Amino acid sequence: MNIILNIQRYNPDVDDAPHFKEYEVEVGPNQRLLDALMQVKRFQDGSLGFRKSCAHGVCGSDAMRINGKDGLACKTLIKEVAQKDGDTVTLEPLRYMPVQRDLIVNQAEFFKKYRSVKPFLINDESVAEKERIQSQDERMQFDDTTNCILCASCYSACPVLQDNSDFLGPAAIAQAYRFIADTRDRGFGERLAVLDQVDGVWPCQNHFKCTQSCPRSILITKRINQTKRLIEKHKQKKGDN
């Protein structure tokens, strides 16, 4: 069938403002949206800018707004966004990050927030045996969060960031949880300095938009709430002493 891709275009070198341009492409219902974009890039307009690499939902580079919802072009089938000949699919860059060109955004702020939670295992204690042992149950407390591909779909989907650009955002908090819930980690205190701030974990209002947008099915909102509870528990314990 033939569908229309209505794509936001913006080249800061020549355009005063973003505008939309339509492209007609012939695609099958089981093809992926990324295939349609590649068709435009290869055969209609080589100047179209978008990121992609693995084409299999692993690298996280082709996240964008697809008909107003955030997701990966390579994980979206045409039949999920267009049902019949002539249907239009609107594509925009992710929100809350400056557009570099067309569907490409500058992710510097997103990664700065991610790095601020120290997303790595912190533990200076010596290891008794060869490795730090962890039970399956302990691992399952945070297992889903290890699947993050840093696509920033959740960040763009978050309604809180619309009014508060300083909010740490869902991906960074989920990654903070990934380590503070890890029985082998000792970095809770260090991460607390970032999480327990007015723009840290607290602005989350449980909209669940991040969870709905995540292509890796990470329980982001739940993990954010668990992080809040761990902080409260920590403060309570401190107050008791």
Question: Exposed (0-12), middle (13-18) or buried (19+): which is 8, by Cβ within 10 Å?
Answer: middle
> Which has the closest alpha carbon to 102: 213, 24, 5, 12?
12
Q: Which residues contact 67 (CB under 8 A, 6 or more apart)?
A: 81, 89, 90
Long-range contacts of 130-135 (CB under 8 A, 24+ apart): 132/184, 134/182, 134/183, 134/184
String of contacts with ligand SF4 for each residue 35-74, x by CB under 6 A: ----------------------------------------
| Of positions 36, 78, 105, 151, contacts ligand SF4 by CB under 6 A | 151
Question: Exposed (0-12), middle (13-18) or buried (19+): which is 98, by Cβ within 10 Å?
Answer: exposed
- What is the C-alpha to C-alpha distance for residues 205 and 159, in angstroms, rounded to an integer? 9
String of contacts with ligand SF4 for each residue 129-148, x by CB under 6 A: -------------------x
Site for ligand SF4 in 206-235 (CB under 6 A): 213-216, 218, 220
| Of positions 53, 123, 134, 147, contacts ligand FES by CB under 6 A | 53
220 binds, among ligand SF4, ligand FES, none (CB under 5 to 8 A by kind): ligand SF4
Stretch that binds ligand FES, among 47-55, 100-108, 120-128, 170-178 (CB under 6 A): 47-55
End-to-end, the C-alpha distance of the chain in Å comes to 68
Strands (DSSP E) found in 28-87: 63-66, 69-72
- What is the C-alpha to C-alpha distance for residues 5 and 109, in angstroms, rounded to an integer? 29
Q: Which residues contact 87 (CB under 8 A, 6 or more apart)?
A: 3, 4, 81
**Residue 181 touches ligand FES, criterion: CB under 6 A:** no
**Residue 147 touches ligand FES, criterion: CB under 6 A:** no
Half-sphere exposure of 5 (CA within 13 A, CB side): 28
**Residue 5 touches ligand SF4, criterion: CB under 6 A:** no
**Residue 58 touches ligand FES, criterion: CB under 6 A:** yes
DSSP state of 199: T
Site for ligand FES in 154-173 (CB under 6 A): none
Site for ligand FES in 62-81 (CB under 6 A): 62, 72, 74
**Residue 61 touches ligand FES, criterion: CB under 6 A:** yes
**Residue 149 touches ligand SF4, criterion: CB under 6 A:** yes
**Residue 41 touches ligand FES, criterion: CB under 6 A:** no
Footprint of ligand SF4 (CB under 6 A): 148-154, 170-171, 174, 213-216, 218, 220
Footprint of ligand FES (CB under 6 A): 52-55, 57-62, 72, 74
